[in-house]
Amino acid sequence: MPKDVLISVEHVSKKYCRSLRHSMLYGVYDVARDMLGLDGHNDQLRETEFWAIDDVSFELQRGECLGIIGPNGAGKSTLLKMLNGILLPDKGKITIRGRVGALIELGAGFHPMLTGRENIYINGAILGVRRKAIHRKFDEIVAFAELEDFIDSPIKFYSSGMYARLGFAVSAHLNPDVLLIDEVLAVGDVAFRLKCFNHVRSLVQSGSAIILVTHSQNDIARVCSRGIVLHHGKPLPAEGLAQAVRQYHELLQTATRETRDQRDTPVRVTAVRTLDSQGMASRQFRSGEHVLVDIHYESRISVDDCVFVIKLASHDLGEFVSFTNRVSGQTIPISVGSGSIIVRLRNVPLLGGNYIVQVHMYDAGTKTFWDQAVPACTFDIIEPDPEIWKEFHTLRIEHDWLINPRFSS
Amino acid sequence: MKWLRASHDFLSSSPSQALTDIIYTPDNIRRQGRHVWGTIFSEFLNSRELIWRLILRDIAARYRQSMLGYLWAVFPSIVTVIVFAVLTQSHTIHIAETPLPYVAYALWNISVWQLFAGCLTGCTNSLASAGSLVSKANFPKEALVMAAVGHPLLDFMIRLVLVTFVFVWYGVPFKAQMSFVPLILLPAILLAVGLSFVLSIINLLLRDIGNILGIALTFAMFLAPVFYPPPTTWPSSLINILNPLSPFLIASQDMIAHGSLSQPQAFLFSGLFSVFVFLVAWRLFRLTIYRVAPYA
């Protein structure tokens, strides 16, 4: 293994069983075979089994942070548990160099009846830290968790945020060569999350290799240098972090599109797409350009006043802005047959990312809800400089900087 | 060449110590060959502190929300012994003469039995009750099983205080040979932990084991010389051998009453058998824990 590679994963696969009944049978069978020293035929699938991780390979060096993204059930946590040595792979080989820290379960071994102080030592022992080492870092851990006033209370009286803070604080003071993080950064309040991120970033800078499992595009952009998208246990081929994030978004869209409502309604949205200012179909825009939303519909009735609601959503924030012809005071009549409407969004002030358009239609008079297209379509705002994601968020607000201003008051 | 590579690793790592490679493959646990026991014991030495911490945790947490606290260690034995003492004294049941006054005899035996039963139950349930700790944290899981010995052992020591008072009350003479009793009980505890290594694994897959064990232990208590002296006539004398705890129970009774063993061969054989079971089961535990971790 090259000297700076800390994690090497070679063609690793792991199978799981869908049915509990079968899995218990297989479990007893496999345990019996292991105990008798017989070959378990790990590399073959049996009835109701499937590959939860299927032929994953990658290498990670010092100072790199790999983000693993993917929909629920893609196998991210299974992969992390194999890297941590809790589960063994059924095929392939994992090599890890150095001291491994894992934030898979915060506060492993915490006992609710015991005080925070007692639990710090227990958690440390489970993570493999000697009592002396914890003793030395004790004050630092308590200060990081911001629990000075509660450290001698039983942790069953802690809030869930306090519990997670204590768990993170102990794990964070391990100084590992390899750190595995499973979505635990989503806990605690905003201030504590920022603290966790800064801590992770400082570990990367000091030469640790980090693997972060997350759902959040912003988490990935903030700390990761590389990304892997897992889908049904298989890694999607991606070059660079930005492409990985886009692939993940496409996966999410196909997943949500399948759940679209199919009921019978007199007025129906048939197609929605985005156009550029020349009226040409386009899905990629620059920040500040016009985005035209082209909505096609079909109707079996004629209506004097129809309400369209357009919503924009991002994968992190959900729906964050909406607009409607009701507020603009524009009446839209609909006649029998098909028709189309274009909504022009002027100088769209969005920053780089993938955005989802949603369209809802209802009758202004009777408030009868007709149809919704969620998601109707998506578009990308292309940011030439991907670095900008790290410090900026969603909206470009027009602003000026005044240095040492003197206002007469 | 091997040495060269090793020194290269040493130089390349930024901290002062060399970084070791950990390798996970489908069968590297199974194919450890002759290094097996070296790895097992060095890992055990490394996890001493963890085992001690887990013992302290269980003991500290157990009686914290309880008024009577450690007195709970003696109540069940006292109640059972009183019941049997009343039954024998009123001649409801007939029991042959015991080597010690009946109350002292029964109390000692039930203390030893509860030590064994407590270890077996506690260790067998240790993995299942640890829950996500087994499936989500990486540490030598046998520490959980071994640490489960702590609580029944402490209870036993508390009962020893009561046993001492009862021995004084009934005028049981104290002998120097009584100090061998811990050596007699040690293989019994190893046997309990050994059996639990296998049972705790199966208990993760099929939770029935915990329930079955409770019933089996109640039944087995009456098939051991606990409330009656060891039978001398065939076939009832079979229980002196068939119940795996009987030889240790009889040996401890002999040591306390006579200061010598009446069946040294039986004790020696059972002792060696227990150590064998313990070691083999430990190895099996390490082979299979990866399989069952997801079921925790």
Per-residue H/E/C for A152-185? CCEHHHCCHHHHHHHHHHHHHCCCCCEEEEECHH
Looking at the fold, whether A241 and A307 belong to one and the same domain comes out as no
Tell me the three state secondary structure of residue A39: coil
A72 and A211, same structural domain?
yes
For residues A179 and A271, membership in a common domain is answered with: no
Q: Is residue A187 part of a domain?
A: yes
Q: How far is A1 from chain B (nearest CA, A)?
A: 10
* Contact residues on chain A for B49, CB-CB shorter than 8 A: 125, 130-131
Whether the pLDDT of residue A382 is over 60: the answer is yes
B16 contacts chain A (CB < 8 A):
no
Q: Which of A1, A84, A130 has its CB closest to that of B138?
A: A84
- Backbone φ and ψ for A114, nearest 5 degrees, come out as -90, 160
Contacts across the A-B interface (CB distance below 8 Å): 143
- Which contiguous run of DSSP H or E holds residue A20? helix A20-36
A273 and A382 both lie in a single domain: yes
Q: Do residues A245 and A274 both lie within one domain?
A: no
Query: Comparing C-alpha atoms, which of B206, B46, B218 is closest to residue B120?
Result: B218
Chain B hits for A89, Cβ within 8 Å:
24-26
- Residue B269 token pair: 């054989």
Distance from CA of B23 to the nearest CA of A (A): 4
Angle value at C-alpha A305, between A303 and A311, nearest 5 degrees: 115
Contact: A108, B133; criterion CB under 8 Å: yes
For the ranges A239-248, B224-233, B259-268, which has the lowest average pLDDT?
A239-248
Q: Rounded to a whole number, what is the distance in Å from the CA of A346 to chain B's nearest CA?
A: 50
Chain A contact for B207 (CB, 8 A cutoff): no
Paired residues of A283 in beta bridges: none
Question: Min CA distance, A32 vs chain B (Å)?
Answer: 9
Per CB-CB distance under 8 Å, the chain B contacts of A7 are none
Domain that residue A236 falls in: 5-99+175-254
Percent of chain A with pLDDT over 70: 93
Residue from A35, A102, A74, A94 nearest B291 by CA: A35
| CATH classification of the domain holding A34 | 3.40.50.300
B50 → closest Cβ in A85, A89, A126: A126
Of B53, B61, B137, the CB nearest to A113: B61
For residue B147, the chain A residues in CB contact (below 8 A) are none
Residue B118 phi, psi (nearest 5): -65, -45
Neighboring chain B residues of A100 at a CB cutoff of 8 Å: 22, 138
Average of per-residue pLDDT across B284-290: 89
Look at residue A56 and tell me if it is in a domain. yes
Closest CA in chain A for residue B17: A98
Residue to substitute from A5, A12, A35, A130, interface B, most B β-carbons within 10 A: A35
Closest approach of A157 to chain B, Cα-based (Å): 14
Q: Is residue A349 part of a domain?
A: yes
What pLDDT score does A10 carry? 93
How far is it, in rounded angstroms, from Cα A341 to Cα A304?
Answer: 15
DSSP-H helix ranges across A261-409: 325-328, 388-391
A106 lies in some domain = no
Residues A190 and A319 in one domain: no
The DSSP output letter for B38 is: H
Q: How many CA atoms lie within 13 A of A287 on its CB side?
A: 18
Q: List, for residues B49-101, the tens digit of each pLDDT value.
A: 899 999 998 888 887 777 777 888 888 888 988 998 898 888 888 888 888 99
Number of domains in chain A: 2
Of A407, A300, A313, give the one whose Cα is nearest residue A360: A313
Q: Which of A359, A387, A360, A368 is nearest to A303 (CA)?
A: A368
Q: Residue B145 in contact with residue B200, Cβ under 8 Å?
A: yes
Residues A210, A77 share a domain = yes
What pLDDT, on the 0 to 100 scale, is given for residue B69? 78
- Which of A73-82, A177-186, A208-217, A238-247 shows the highest mean pLDDT? A73-82
Q: Which residues of A touch B26 (CB under 8 A)?
A: 40, 42-43, 88-92
pLDDT at A159 over 70: yes
Lowest mean pLDDT among A186-190, B165-169, B271-275: A186-190
Q: Which amino acid is at B212?
A: I
| pLDDT, tens only, A320-373 | 899 899 888 888 998 899 999 999 999 998 888 888 898 988 888 888 888 888
What is the rounded distance in angstroms from the CA atom of residue A266 to the CA atom of residue A358? 19
* Cross-chain Cβ contact B133/A102 below 8 Å: no
In DSSP terms, A362 is beta-bridged to A307, A369
- Average pLDDT, integer, range B216-232: 90
User: Nearest by CB to B136, which of A1, A37, A104?
Assistant: A104
- DSSP for A48-81, written as a single string: TEEEEEEEEEEEEETT-EEEEE-STTSSHHHHHH
Q: Do B202 and A28 touch (CB under 8 A)?
A: yes
Mutate to test the interface with B, among A4, A10, A34 (most CBs of B within 10 A): A34
Q: Which of A95, A111, A128 sits opposite B21 (nearest CB)?
A: A95
Q: What is the mean pLDDT of residues B255-266?
A: 91
Does one domain contain both A63 and A181?
Answer: yes
Is it the case that residue B14 has pLDDT exceeding 50?
A: no
A296 pLDDT more than 70: yes
* Contact indicator for B144, B137 with CB cutoff of 8 Å: no
Q: Do B136 and A81 touch (CB under 8 A)?
A: yes
Query: Which CATH number do you get for residue A326?
Result: 2.70.50.60
B199 to chain A, any CB pair closer than 8 A? The answer is: no
**Residue A170: which residues within 8 A CB-CB, separation 6 or more?**
A107, A120, A123, A124, A127, A134, A141
Question: What pLDDT score does A376 carry?
Answer: 82
pLDDT band, very low/low/confident/very high, at A79 (cuts 50, 70, 90)? very high
Cβ contact (<8 Å) for B57 and A122?
A: yes
pLDDT value at residue B206: 87
CB contact B60 to A (< 8 Å): yes
pLDDT score recorded for residue B8: 31
Closest-CA distance, B19 to chain A, in angstroms, reads 5
Report the chain B residue with the minimal C-alpha distance to residue A42: B26
Q: Give the integer Cα–Cα distance in Å for A21 and B42.
A: 38
pLDDT for B18 equals 61
Q: What is the pTM of this model?
A: 0.79
* pLDDT class of A261 with cuts at 50, 70, 90: low
Nearest chain B alpha carbon to A108 = B133
Q: Does B132 touch chain A (CB under 8 A)?
A: yes
pLDDT of residue B109: 95
What is the per-residue pLDDT across B186-223, written as a single tens digit (0 to 9) for each?
A: 999 999 999 999 999 999 988 899 889 999 999 999 89
pLDDT value, residue B157: 94
pLDDT the model gives residue A126: 87
ipTM over 0.90: no
User: Nearest CB to A28: which of B60, B205, B293?
Assistant: B205
DSSP string, B126-141: HHHHHTHHHHH--S-T
What whole-number distance in Å separates Cα of residue A268 and Cα of residue A292? Answer: 20
CB contact under 8 A, A34 and B54: no
State which residue of chain B sits closest to A33, comparing Cα positions.
B288
- What crossing angle do the helices spanning B36-46 and B264-292 adopt, rounded to 10°? 80
Alpha-carbon distance of B136 to A86, in angstroms, equals: 7
* Residues 6 or more apart whose Cβ sits within 8 Å of residue A241: A67, A220, A221, A224, A225, A226, A227, A386
Q: Count H helices, E strands: chain A?
A: 10, 18
* Closest chain A residue by Cα to residue B7: A3
**What is the sign, positive or negative, of the torsion defined by CA atoms of A379, A381, A384, A389?**
negative
Other CB atoms within a 10 A radius of the CB of residue A239 amount to 7
pLDDT classification of A203: cutoffs 50, 70, 90: confident
pLDDT at B3 (0 to 100)? 33
Kindly state whether residue A15 falls inside one of the protein's structural domains. Answer: yes
- Kindly state whether residues A226 and A366 are assigned to the same domain: no
Task: Tell me: do A313 and A205 sit in the same domain.
Answer: no
Range A2-17 average pLDDT: 89
Give how far B32 is from chain A: nearest CA, Å.
12
Is the Cβ pair B22, A96 closer than 8 Å? yes
Per-residue confidence (pLDDT) for residue B163, from 0 to 100: 94
Helix B150-169 with B102-130: angle, nearest 10 deg: 170
User: What single-letter amino acid sits at A252?
Assistant: L
The residue among A31, A94, A175 with the most chain B CBs within 10 A of its CB, best to mutate, is A31
* Closest chain B CA to residue A87: B290
Q: Do B202 and A114 touch (CB under 8 A)?
A: no
Q: Is B202 on the interface with A (CB under 8 A)?
A: yes
Are A85 and B138 an interchain contact pair (Cβ–Cβ within 8 Å)? yes
Task: Work out the mean pLDDT of chain A and round it to a whole number.
Answer: 85
Give how far A396 is from chain B: nearest CA, Å: 42
Residue A123 lies in a domain: no
- CB-CB contact of A348 with A287 (8 Å): yes
Contact B24 A30 (CB under 8 A): no
Element (H, E) at B120: helix B102-130
Does residue A267 carry a pLDDT above 60?
Answer: yes
Distance CA A35, CA A29 (A): 10
Residue A350 in 3-state DSSP?
Answer: strand
* A204 located within any domain: yes
For A275, the 3-state DSSP assignment is: strand
State the DSSP H helix or E strand holding residue B104, giving kind and residue range, or none if neither: helix B102-130
Decide if A11 is inside a domain: yes
Asked if B292 is an interface residue toward chain A (Cβ–Cβ < 8 A), one would say: yes
- From chain A, the residues in CB contact with B27 under 8 A are 42
Among A342-351, B17-26, B138-147, the minimum mean pLDDT is found in B17-26
Output b/e per residue, A350-382; b: 16+ Cβ within 10 A: bebbbbbbbbbbbbbeeeeebbbbbbbbbbbbe
Statement to judge: residues A294 and A326 lie in one domain: yes
Q: Do A109 and B9 touch (CB under 8 A)?
A: no
Is there a contact between B261 and B125 (Cβ–Cβ < 8 Å)? Answer: no
- When mean pLDDT is compared over A40-44, A389-393, B76-80, the highest value belongs to B76-80
Residues A201 and A314 in one domain: no
